[in-house]
Amino acid sequence: MKALSDCTILVTPSSFGRHDPRLHSVLAESVGEVIRNERGRPLTSDELRDLLPGCDGYIAGQDHIDAHALQQADRLRVIARYGVGVDRVDLAAAQARGIIVTNTPGANADAVAELSIGLMLALARQIPQASQRTRGGEWPRLSGVSLAGSVVGLLGLGAIGQSVARRLQAFDCILQAHDPFITSDQAQQLGVQLVELEALVANADFFSLHLPATPDTVGLVDADLLARMKPGAFLINTARGELIDEAALYQALQSGHLRGAALDAFREEPPAADNPLFSLPQVLVTPHMGAHTAGAVNAMGWGALNDCLAVLRGDPPKHRVV
């Protein structure tokens, strides 16, 4: 086995080490060479394919890690995902090449939960619109919606969904969730009532998505589901853009069936400037920044770094996916 000091590591997340320079120094002192992503954005399959030859380890952001890119991974032993999602990693192709894939579950749960609740409040009280109009010289009387007494529906009750639920207990809202992997006892400890998906869709005043993108969940929020949502409800997505049929969401918002939506993730990232959803004032958009707090970025950085180095040393990683 090659000595760790002779290994080459590819690092693509632009925020890696931004708030803790020790991540850079520990990595540089541990391995022979570090290759960085100079583009400041996730890499395409072709771009990644050009960088992977000769790399032993890979600390990966939201790059497109498909079989095409991995064909050139002649020495790669580990892909350490900087975050929890592995939907952009071809796990079967990695496994076929003997590449271990890890992630950092829970590292960004609190940060994403905080943004989810912030977006709920911004929608409920029309905060962006109020700020913009007041700055423009108006003094509008905008009517908002209170979270107290409202039904907040959480689709997915994993680490992030649970973090949202714990925080929302203080808002005196009615918490419901659908997640087949959570027991009623677990939900009860969070003050959450588990319901079937149909009931959640029909009941929620605020419908918040906390699912990974998988073959079963991609496109789940389609025209049919949106039509079954409560009239005047709000949709919040801080998970994955692939969950939503954006054209169907546009129609549901333009027709007035939904009152508003807040989106931190899109099918195409970055989204095109002429994305039809951008034309609707009742849509709030943010640049997939849910995990981007100093604490979350540091936790993801150390988790990915430690597992990457562990595999290259021949030790078992803490959070192995495949």
Active site residues per annotation: 240, 269, 288
| Alpha-carbon distances, residue 213 vs 3, 4, 87, 105, 260 (angstroms) | 36, 34, 6, 15, 23
Structure-derived torsion over alpha carbons of residues 46, 269, 115, 85, reported in degrees to the nearest 10? -40
Measured distance between the N- and C-terminal CA atoms of the chain, rounded to whole angstroms: 20
Q: How many Å is the maximal CA-CA distance in the chain?
A: 69
C-alpha angle 123-126-128 in degrees, rounded to nearest 5: 100
Rounded Cα distance, 154 and 212, in Å: 13
Other Cβ atoms less than 10 A from the Cβ of 220: the count is 17
Question: CB-based burial of residue 3 (10 Å sphere; 0-12 exposed, 13-18 middle, 19+ buried)?
Answer: exposed
User: Is residue 42 classed exposed, middle or buried when 0-12, 13-18 and 19+ CB atoms within 10 A define those classes?
Assistant: buried
Rg value, the chain, Cα: 21
